[in-house]
Structure 1
Amino acid sequence: MSEPPPSDPKRFYTGWLLDPGDREALLRRFPPRYPEVVAHHVTLKFGDRAAVPPINTTGEVIGQADDGLGVEALVVRIAGSTDRPDGSTYHITWSLAPGREARESNAVIASLGWTGLPQPVPIRLLARPFGD
């Protein structure tokens, strides 16, 4: 009897889930523009089952990005920085149009930038691994 194949490591993330109460408040404050509402997590690292979960449990939503074609994201600052260790930007994929994927948020932020909010919005984050 053989072992089942390992799950796809790229579907495994380490980072932060949004606190459920804060998620609901953010959804009211920033109504999703596209029909698929994601609003789930902030990624620290993906594809590494050995990654250590982060220690921070708070962050701030400080900006928004939208390509106008179906990818909307909220930019997040954690421990004073928006810079993820892999060189991308901490964010929450907020909403998507049909055919678009959450991973596209990184490219939208990198190529188009983001618009800052007048005031940061504090959020609680649940540090943990998640995925398959």
Structure 2
Amino acid sequence: MSLDRRISLITLGVEDVARSTAFYERLGWTRSPSSQDAITFIQLKGTVLGLFSRQALAEDAKVENTPPGFSGVTLAHNVTSERGVDAVYKFALSCGATAVKPPEKVFWGGYSGYFADPDGHLWEIAYNPFFPLDKDGHVILPD
């Protein structure tokens, strides 16, 4: 047996589900009708994003709800050009994101910037010339 190479659901622990839902809706993402007051589900391409109380998520996993800080996890959204990075970054800020690192050329040969959602979850907006996107916007890793 092996584990399929896919992630079905990414759940972000948030302080206020309604506030976070409103932020992601401003980005143009749609709340699923299967959502409830306590949890929001957003269908993405091949993955579902969940927004759930940070405290409830910690309790469900039976771990301590440690104070916010860098979690060691970032989410990334790749685009097809440097100009695309700038446009998406600016759009996210207009939707209420917090600027973390303005887009710039980066050491690995691409171009990226970071913003934080209302709960401090870091999003990288990146153009990576070594990881092209297919027609559906999915990253294609080199052979």
TM-score class normalised by the smaller sequence = under 0.3
